[in-house]
A and B are shown apart, each in its own frame.
Chain A
Amino acid sequence: MSRALVAVTRVTVAFLWIQNTYWKVPPHFGADRTPPDGLYRFTRDAVDYPVFGPYRWFVEHVVLPNFGVFGWLVLFVELSLGAFLLVGLAVRLWAVVGLGQSLAITLSVLKAPNEWHWSYYLMIVLHVLLFAVAAGRAGGLDGVLRPVWAASGGRLARLLLWVS
Protein backbone atom coordinates (compact mmCIF):
# COMPACT_ATOMS: atom_id res chain seq x y z
CA MET A 1 0.00 0.00 0.00
CA SER A 2 2.75 2.48 0.96
CA ARG A 3 4.72 1.65 -2.19
CA ALA A 4 1.64 2.24 -4.34
CA LEU A 5 1.06 5.63 -2.70
CA VAL A 6 4.69 6.61 -3.30
CA ALA A 7 4.29 5.63 -6.97
CA VAL A 8 1.06 7.64 -7.28
CA THR A 9 2.81 10.67 -5.75
CA ARG A 10 5.76 10.35 -8.15
CA VAL A 11 3.53 10.06 -11.22
CA THR A 12 1.40 13.00 -10.05
CA VAL A 13 4.51 15.19 -9.70
CA ALA A 14 5.60 14.00 -13.16
CA PHE A 15 2.29 15.19 -14.62
CA LEU A 16 2.75 18.54 -12.87
CA TRP A 17 5.88 19.07 -14.99
CA ILE A 18 4.45 17.40 -18.11
CA GLN A 19 1.31 19.53 -18.24
CA ASN A 20 3.14 22.79 -17.58
CA THR A 21 5.37 22.46 -20.61
CA TYR A 22 2.48 23.27 -22.98
CA TRP A 23 2.76 27.03 -22.46
CA LYS A 24 6.55 27.22 -22.79
CA VAL A 25 6.42 27.47 -26.56
CA PRO A 26 9.77 27.77 -28.39
CA PRO A 27 11.56 29.56 -29.91
CA HIS A 28 10.49 32.87 -28.26
CA PHE A 29 8.81 31.52 -25.10
CA GLY A 30 6.41 34.48 -24.99
CA ALA A 31 9.07 37.20 -25.39
CA ASP A 32 7.69 38.11 -28.84
CA ARG A 33 4.22 38.97 -27.52
CA THR A 34 2.96 42.45 -26.60
CA PRO A 35 2.74 42.50 -23.65
CA PRO A 36 5.21 39.65 -23.01
CA ASP A 37 3.56 36.36 -22.09
CA GLY A 38 4.34 32.78 -21.14
CA LEU A 39 7.70 31.79 -19.69
CA TYR A 40 9.21 35.23 -20.41
CA ARG A 41 6.55 37.02 -18.34
CA PHE A 42 6.92 34.70 -15.36
CA THR A 43 10.71 34.94 -15.51
CA ARG A 44 10.43 38.74 -15.64
CA ASP A 45 8.46 38.62 -12.36
CA ALA A 46 11.81 38.02 -10.62
CA VAL A 47 12.75 41.57 -11.67
CA ASP A 48 9.36 43.25 -11.27
CA TYR A 49 8.53 41.62 -7.90
CA PRO A 50 11.94 40.71 -6.48
CA VAL A 51 12.23 38.00 -3.85
CA PHE A 52 16.02 37.85 -3.45
CA GLY A 53 18.32 40.64 -4.62
CA PRO A 54 21.16 38.59 -6.15
CA TYR A 55 18.67 36.40 -8.02
CA ARG A 56 16.94 39.52 -9.37
CA TRP A 57 20.32 40.82 -10.61
CA PHE A 58 21.09 37.46 -12.24
CA VAL A 59 17.74 37.32 -14.05
CA GLU A 60 17.91 40.96 -15.17
CA HIS A 61 21.52 40.94 -16.40
CA VAL A 62 22.14 37.33 -17.44
CA VAL A 63 18.86 35.46 -18.05
CA LEU A 64 16.65 38.01 -19.82
CA PRO A 65 19.33 39.28 -22.27
CA ASN A 66 19.96 35.64 -23.27
CA PHE A 67 16.40 34.42 -23.01
CA GLY A 68 16.53 32.25 -26.13
CA VAL A 69 19.14 30.03 -24.49
CA PHE A 70 17.53 30.04 -21.03
CA GLY A 71 14.09 29.33 -22.49
CA TRP A 72 15.37 26.17 -24.18
CA LEU A 73 17.24 25.20 -21.01
CA VAL A 74 14.09 25.52 -18.88
CA LEU A 75 12.05 23.62 -21.46
CA PHE A 76 14.52 20.72 -21.64
CA VAL A 77 14.84 20.53 -17.86
CA GLU A 78 11.07 20.42 -17.38
CA LEU A 79 10.46 18.01 -20.29
CA SER A 80 13.07 15.72 -18.73
CA LEU A 81 11.63 16.05 -15.23
CA GLY A 82 8.25 14.91 -16.51
CA ALA A 83 9.74 12.07 -18.55
CA PHE A 84 12.09 10.59 -15.92
CA LEU A 85 9.72 10.97 -12.97
CA LEU A 86 6.88 9.41 -14.99
CA VAL A 87 8.70 6.13 -15.55
CA GLY A 88 10.70 6.25 -12.32
CA LEU A 89 14.19 6.28 -13.82
CA ALA A 90 17.12 7.90 -11.93
CA VAL A 91 14.54 9.46 -9.65
CA ARG A 92 16.91 10.68 -6.92
CA LEU A 93 18.87 12.70 -9.48
CA TRP A 94 15.71 14.17 -11.00
CA ALA A 95 14.24 14.89 -7.57
CA VAL A 96 17.29 17.10 -6.92
CA VAL A 97 16.86 18.77 -10.33
CA GLY A 98 13.16 19.28 -9.57
CA LEU A 99 14.04 20.78 -6.21
CA GLY A 100 16.41 23.24 -7.92
CA GLN A 101 13.84 24.14 -10.56
CA SER A 102 11.15 24.60 -7.88
CA LEU A 103 13.49 26.96 -6.00
CA ALA A 104 14.13 28.96 -9.19
CA ILE A 105 10.39 29.24 -9.83
CA THR A 106 9.81 30.27 -6.21
CA LEU A 107 12.46 32.98 -6.45
CA SER A 108 10.82 34.25 -9.65
CA VAL A 109 7.14 34.44 -8.75
CA LEU A 110 6.72 34.19 -4.97
CA LYS A 111 5.86 37.88 -4.59
CA ALA A 112 4.01 38.30 -7.88
CA PRO A 113 0.34 39.28 -7.61
CA ASN A 114 -2.27 36.51 -7.28
CA GLU A 115 0.25 33.79 -6.46
CA TRP A 116 -0.45 31.35 -3.61
CA HIS A 117 2.93 31.01 -1.90
CA TRP A 118 2.15 27.58 -0.49
CA SER A 119 2.09 26.20 -4.07
CA TYR A 120 5.84 26.70 -4.26
CA TYR A 121 6.62 25.45 -0.76
CA LEU A 122 4.64 22.30 -1.60
CA MET A 123 6.54 21.82 -4.87
CA ILE A 124 9.82 22.06 -2.96
CA VAL A 125 8.89 19.58 -0.22
CA LEU A 126 7.40 17.14 -2.72
CA HIS A 127 10.78 16.84 -4.44
CA VAL A 128 12.51 16.50 -1.08
CA LEU A 129 10.10 13.66 -0.33
CA LEU A 130 10.72 11.94 -3.70
CA PHE A 131 14.45 12.07 -2.95
CA ALA A 132 14.11 10.92 0.66
CA VAL A 133 12.10 7.80 -0.16
CA ALA A 134 13.97 7.07 -3.43
CA ALA A 135 10.59 7.09 -5.13
CA GLY A 136 11.74 5.33 -8.29
CA ARG A 137 12.14 2.10 -6.34
CA ALA A 138 8.41 1.93 -5.66
CA GLY A 139 6.63 0.98 -8.87
CA GLY A 140 9.30 2.64 -11.03
CA LEU A 141 12.05 1.39 -13.32
CA ASP A 142 14.69 2.09 -10.65
CA GLY A 143 13.18 -0.70 -8.57
CA VAL A 144 13.19 -3.10 -11.50
CA LEU A 145 16.65 -2.27 -12.80
CA ARG A 146 18.70 -1.79 -9.62
CA PRO A 147 19.36 -5.56 -9.31
CA VAL A 148 20.49 -5.56 -12.96
CA TRP A 149 22.79 -2.57 -12.40
CA ALA A 150 24.17 -4.11 -9.18
CA ALA A 151 24.99 -7.37 -10.97
CA SER A 152 26.52 -5.59 -13.96
CA GLY A 153 29.14 -3.58 -12.04
CA GLY A 154 30.03 -1.29 -14.95
CA ARG A 155 30.73 2.41 -14.48
CA LEU A 156 27.35 3.54 -15.87
CA ALA A 157 25.58 0.90 -13.80
CA ARG A 158 27.31 2.13 -10.62
CA LEU A 159 26.33 5.70 -11.48
CA LEU A 160 22.71 4.68 -12.04
CA LEU A 161 22.68 2.84 -8.71
CA TRP A 162 23.92 6.03 -7.07
CA VAL A 163 21.24 8.30 -8.62
CA SER A 164 18.34 5.91 -8.14
Chain B
Amino acid sequence: MDSVTVERLYRSALVLGAGALACGLFTFVEPIQYRLVRVHGWSLAVLLVLAGVAIAGGLLRRRPVLAVAGAGFLAAAVLQLIVWSGSNWLGGDGSTVSLFGGFGLGLLTLGLVPLPDAPPDR
Protein backbone atom coordinates (compact mmCIF):
# COMPACT_ATOMS: atom_id res chain seq x y z
CA MET B 1 0.00 0.00 0.00
CA ASP B 2 1.37 3.43 -0.82
CA SER B 3 2.70 5.51 2.05
CA VAL B 4 0.22 8.34 1.42
CA THR B 5 -2.76 6.07 2.09
CA VAL B 6 -1.14 4.61 5.21
CA GLU B 7 -0.33 8.12 6.43
CA ARG B 8 -3.96 9.17 5.90
CA LEU B 9 -5.09 6.12 7.88
CA TYR B 10 -3.09 7.16 10.95
CA ARG B 11 -4.14 10.79 10.53
CA SER B 12 -7.78 9.66 10.50
CA ALA B 13 -7.21 7.79 13.76
CA LEU B 14 -5.83 11.01 15.28
CA VAL B 15 -8.88 12.94 14.06
CA LEU B 16 -11.25 10.32 15.52
CA GLY B 17 -9.38 10.39 18.84
CA ALA B 18 -9.39 14.18 18.96
CA GLY B 19 -13.08 14.19 17.98
CA ALA B 20 -13.85 11.80 20.81
CA LEU B 21 -11.97 14.02 23.26
CA ALA B 22 -13.87 17.06 22.00
CA CYS B 23 -17.19 15.29 22.56
CA GLY B 24 -16.32 15.26 26.27
CA LEU B 25 -16.93 19.01 26.21
CA PHE B 26 -20.66 18.38 25.78
CA THR B 27 -20.67 17.53 29.50
CA PHE B 28 -20.39 21.24 30.23
CA VAL B 29 -23.13 22.43 27.86
CA GLU B 30 -26.19 23.91 29.55
CA PRO B 31 -29.14 23.57 29.35
CA ILE B 32 -29.15 19.82 28.81
CA GLN B 33 -31.30 19.87 25.65
CA TYR B 34 -28.37 21.48 23.82
CA ARG B 35 -26.07 18.54 24.58
CA LEU B 36 -25.83 16.73 21.27
CA VAL B 37 -24.48 13.75 23.16
CA ARG B 38 -24.83 12.94 26.84
CA VAL B 39 -21.70 11.68 28.51
CA HIS B 40 -20.95 12.03 32.17
CA GLY B 41 -19.75 9.91 35.06
CA TRP B 42 -18.24 6.62 33.96
CA SER B 43 -19.20 7.09 30.30
CA LEU B 44 -17.14 10.29 30.23
CA ALA B 45 -14.19 8.47 31.78
CA VAL B 46 -14.48 5.69 29.18
CA LEU B 47 -14.67 8.28 26.38
CA LEU B 48 -11.56 10.14 27.54
CA VAL B 49 -9.46 7.03 28.17
CA LEU B 50 -10.31 5.39 24.84
CA ALA B 51 -9.83 8.67 22.97
CA GLY B 52 -6.37 8.79 24.52
CA VAL B 53 -5.66 5.23 23.39
CA ALA B 54 -6.79 6.12 19.84
CA ILE B 55 -4.54 9.19 19.76
CA ALA B 56 -1.62 7.15 21.08
CA GLY B 57 -2.21 4.55 18.36
CA GLY B 58 -2.21 7.26 15.72
CA LEU B 59 0.92 8.95 17.03
CA LEU B 60 2.83 5.69 17.51
CA ARG B 61 1.53 4.35 14.16
CA ARG B 62 0.38 1.10 15.75
CA ARG B 63 -2.74 -0.39 14.13
CA PRO B 64 -3.27 -2.98 16.91
CA VAL B 65 -3.63 -0.07 19.36
CA LEU B 66 -6.31 1.43 17.11
CA ALA B 67 -8.10 -1.93 17.07
CA VAL B 68 -7.97 -2.08 20.88
CA ALA B 69 -9.47 1.42 21.15
CA GLY B 70 -12.16 0.50 18.61
CA ALA B 71 -13.03 -2.75 20.36
CA GLY B 72 -13.16 -0.87 23.67
CA PHE B 73 -15.59 1.69 22.27
CA LEU B 74 -17.81 -1.03 20.80
CA ALA B 75 -17.82 -2.96 24.08
CA ALA B 76 -18.71 0.24 25.95
CA ALA B 77 -21.54 0.93 23.48
CA VAL B 78 -23.02 -2.54 24.05
CA LEU B 79 -22.63 -2.16 27.83
CA GLN B 80 -24.30 1.27 27.79
CA LEU B 81 -27.22 -0.16 25.79
CA ILE B 82 -27.63 -2.97 28.33
CA VAL B 83 -27.55 -0.79 31.45
CA TRP B 84 -29.40 2.21 29.96
CA SER B 85 -32.95 1.44 31.14
CA GLY B 86 -31.79 -0.17 34.40
CA SER B 87 -29.21 1.04 36.90
CA ASN B 88 -27.44 3.05 34.16
CA TRP B 89 -24.22 3.20 36.19
CA LEU B 90 -22.37 4.31 33.04
CA GLY B 91 -24.40 7.54 33.04
CA GLY B 92 -25.11 7.80 29.31
CA ASP B 93 -28.09 7.10 27.09
CA GLY B 94 -28.85 6.25 23.46
CA SER B 95 -26.73 9.13 22.21
CA THR B 96 -23.77 7.67 24.09
CA VAL B 97 -24.39 4.27 22.48
CA SER B 98 -24.43 5.80 19.00
CA LEU B 99 -21.33 7.94 19.64
CA PHE B 100 -19.32 5.05 21.11
CA GLY B 101 -20.54 2.83 18.28
CA GLY B 102 -19.32 5.29 15.67
CA PHE B 103 -15.86 5.70 17.16
CA GLY B 104 -15.69 1.96 17.74
CA LEU B 105 -16.59 1.06 14.15
CA GLY B 106 -14.23 3.68 12.77
CA LEU B 107 -11.20 2.80 14.87
CA LEU B 108 -11.74 -0.95 14.55
CA THR B 109 -11.94 -0.59 10.77
CA LEU B 110 -8.74 1.46 10.68
CA GLY B 111 -7.03 -1.08 12.92
CA LEU B 112 -8.12 -4.21 11.09
CA VAL B 113 -8.58 -3.34 7.41
CA PRO B 114 -6.18 -5.53 5.41
CA LEU B 115 -3.58 -3.36 3.68
CA PRO B 116 -2.45 -4.93 0.39
CA ASP B 117 1.33 -5.08 -0.02
CA ALA B 118 3.01 -2.38 -2.04
CA PRO B 119 4.05 -3.55 -5.53
CA PRO B 120 7.78 -4.46 -5.64
CA ASP B 121 10.15 -1.78 -6.92
CA ARG B 122 11.42 -2.35 -10.43
> In the complex the two chains form, what is the Cα distance from A60 to B72 in whole Å?
40
Instruction: Decide yes or no: A22 and B38 within 8 Å by CB, A78-B98, A82-B99 being known contacts.
Output: yes
Interface size on B, residues (CB 8 A): 32
Q: A82-B99, A89-B106 are in contact. Are A22 and B93 (CB under 8 A)?
A: yes
B102-A15 in contact (CB<8A): no
Distance of A21 from chain B, by nearest CB (Å): 3
How far apart are the CA atoms of A83 and B5 in the complex, in Å? 23
Q: Which residues of B are found within 8 Å of A82, using beta-carbon distances?
A: 95, 98-99, 101-102
* Assembly CA distance A87 to B9 (angstroms): 13
Candidate in B81, B84, B98, B110 with the most chain A CB atoms within 10 angstroms: B98
Query: Are B37 and A145 neighbours in the complex by a CB distance under 8 Å?
Result: no
What is the predominant secondary structure among interface residues of chain A facing chain B? helix
Number of interface residues of A (CB under 8 A): 30
Shortest B118–chain A CB gap in Å is 9
Closest chain A residue to B12, Cβ basis: A144
B85 within 8 A of partner (CB): yes
A132 at the interface (CB under 8 A from B): no
The 9 closest A-B pairs by CB, nearest first: A21-B94, A87-B106, A83-B102, A82-B98, A86-B102, A83-B101, A22-B93, A18-B98, A151-B116
Other than the known A17-B98, A78-B94, A144-B12, what 5 A-B pairs have Cβ atoms closer than 8 Å? A18-B102, A21-B93, A25-B93, A80-B98, A141-B106
